[in-house]
């Protein structure tokens, strides 16, 4: 017995409206979905026409999976690898459990393999997608090690939300709890209206716009240990912070050249967790600047739930985060572990694990990665 069969095609411009409608199952906002997809797949600096695969039923898209371009680098000579980052998996509710995802992914991987792509990456898979991805041959590189600095009030309300969601007659009130959290537990940062720079410490100021040229210059100046990381050049910084559903703030340390930056991010759609603030990237020329930027961020005001990925940070930086009140987050264990993971799908059939390397660095070993939340669309 088989599920339904679907035609799988690459998205063409004439289907943009249909695709935005399908994607809107995420946030319930077609215009937001259209803007997001255009930014991510059409204005991507490394792959202008990043592919979106569609499963069609009677000519209408009922499932989608996007693959946007991601430029990785590794090794002492910064060898580059253009890879694809799988994201935006959506199936129309009436077609779930009908074999859409299996059809879609199998056709997409066949097509990508034929076109010579070697790897597909995923950095934001939660528990559900992680399990189905592993069942489809993806490899689990490891968890991202999310740390949280969350207020007790947020933790209590989140537990209440979890409890209410699982109760037979009360689950309808779960949305109310979530909405209450989103409305009343926001960071002080979100309330800041000013558009100009704000001085927050002797060398540190807060901005609402990135400085792509200077940020790329700083990344280029700081010695790279050769681990696998995303390329952070001028084009990447200029594109990355235009994500229309996120809001970013930038702390810059200058004396007078840029010596460090720390990027904070929050979600804009009401349907997303508006209590959360993420540190999505953090770079500094030395430990003094790094610590100073974190202190400056914490002094900006109250953050109900501040998060950062720590798995690949140096021990010294992890210790700094711990003394600043960050603790392991995620919740759940076993199958339900909510921790995000790095997943890699080698497209070459039967490729031995030892061959999955970039400039001598192993793609399937977390120790060979330097991963920031900014590299995933979580941040």
Partner 1 sequence: MNRASPDPSLRGHLIGLLEENNPEACAALGDDTSLIRSGLIDSMALFNLALWIEQETGSQLDLNTFDPSVEWDTIAGILDFIGRHRRRDLPG
Which residues contact partner 1 by CB under 8 A? 1-3, 89, 91, 96-103, 127-132, 134-137, 140, 333-336
Contact 52/64 with Cβ under 8 angstroms?
A: yes
* In the complex, least distance from residue 157 CB atom to partner 1, rounded to whole angstroms: 24
How far is the first Cα of the chain from the last one, in angstroms, to the nearest whole number? 41
CB closer to partner 1, 6 vs 252:
6
Strands 341-346 and 119-125: antiparallel
77 exposure class (CB count in 10 Å sphere: 0-12, 13-18, 19+): exposed
Token digits of residue 8: 């799988």
Residues 6+ apart with CB under 8 A from 65: 52, 53, 86, 87, 88, 89, 90, 101, 104, 105, 108
* In the complex, least distance from residue 250 CB atom to partner 1, rounded to whole angstroms: 36
CB closer to partner 1, 134 vs 291:
134
* In the complex, least distance from residue 331 CB atom to partner 1, rounded to whole angstroms: 14
CB closer to partner 1, 202 vs 335:
335
Tell me the C-alpha distance between 308 and 131, whole Å. 23
CB closer to partner 1, 77 vs 97:
97
* In the complex, least distance from residue 273 CB atom to partner 1, rounded to whole angstroms: 19
Closest listed residue to residue 53, CA positions, set 92, 91, 11: 11
CB closer to partner 1, 79 vs 132:
132
b/e map of 12-21 (b: 16 or more CB within 10 Å)?
eeebbebbbb
Q: What distances in angstroms separate CA 40 from CA 120, 128, 244, 264, 379, one per listed residue?
A: 16, 23, 10, 20, 13
CB closer to partner 1, 127 vs 200:
127
DSSP label of 223: P
What 3-state DSSP class applies to 214?
helix
* In the complex, least distance from residue 99 CB atom to partner 1, rounded to whole angstroms: 3
Length of the chain: 379
CB closer to partner 1, 107 vs 231:
107
The C-alpha R_g of the chain, in whole angstroms, comes to 21
* In the complex, least distance from residue 353 CB atom to partner 1, rounded to whole angstroms: 12
CB closer to partner 1, 133 vs 278:
133
* In the complex, least distance from residue 135 CB atom to partner 1, rounded to whole angstroms: 4
* In the complex, least distance from residue 276 CB atom to partner 1, rounded to whole angstroms: 22
Strands 276-284 and 305-309: parallel
């Amino acid at each position: 017995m088989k599920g339904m069969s679907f035609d799988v095609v690459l998205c063409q411009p004439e289907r943009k409206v249909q695709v935005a409608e399908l994607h809107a199952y995420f946030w319930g906002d077609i215009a937001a979905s259209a803007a997001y997809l255009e930014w991510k797949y059409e204005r991507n600096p490394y792959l202008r026409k990043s592919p979106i695969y569609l499963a069609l039923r009677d000519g209408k898209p009922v499932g989608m999976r996007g693959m946007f371009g991601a430029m990785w680098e590794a090794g002492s000579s910064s060898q580059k690898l253009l890879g694809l980052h799988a994201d935006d998996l959506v199936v129309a509710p009436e077609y779930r459990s009908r074999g859409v995802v299996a059809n879609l992914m199998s056709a997409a991987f066949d097509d990508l393999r034929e076109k010579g792509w070697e790897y597909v990456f995923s950095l934001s898979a939660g528990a559900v997608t992680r399990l189905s991805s592993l069942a489809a041959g993806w490899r689990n590189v490891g968890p991202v090690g999310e740390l949280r600095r969350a207020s007790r009030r947020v933790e209590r309300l989140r537990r209440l939300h979890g409890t209410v969601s699982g109760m037979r007659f009360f689950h309808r009130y779960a949305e109310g709890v979530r909405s209450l959290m989103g409305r009343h537990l926001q960071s002080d940062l979100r309330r800041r209206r000013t558009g100009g720079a704000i001085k927050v410490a002797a060398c540190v100021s807060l901005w609402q716009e990135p400085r792509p040229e200077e940020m790329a210059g700083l990344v280029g100046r700081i010695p790279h240990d050769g681990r696998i990381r995303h390329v952070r050049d001028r084009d990447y910084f200029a594109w990355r912070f235009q994500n229309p559903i996120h809001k970013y703030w930038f702390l810059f340390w200058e004396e007078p050249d840029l010596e460090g930056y720390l990027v904070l991010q929050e979600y804009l759609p009401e349907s997303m967790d508006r209590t959360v603030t993420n540190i999505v990237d953090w770079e500094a020329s030395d430990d003094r600047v790094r610590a100073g930027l974190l202190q400056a961020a914490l002094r900006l005001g109250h953050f109900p739930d501040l998060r950062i990925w720590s798995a690949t940070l140096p021990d010294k930086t992890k210790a700094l985060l711990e003394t600043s009140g960050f603790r392991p987050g995620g919740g759940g264990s076993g199958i339900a572990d909510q921790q995000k993971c790095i997943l890699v799908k080698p497209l070459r059939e039967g490729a031995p694990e030892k061959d999955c390397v970039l400039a001598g660095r192993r793609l399937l070993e977390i120790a060979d990665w330097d991963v920031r939340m900014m590299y995933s669309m979580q941040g």
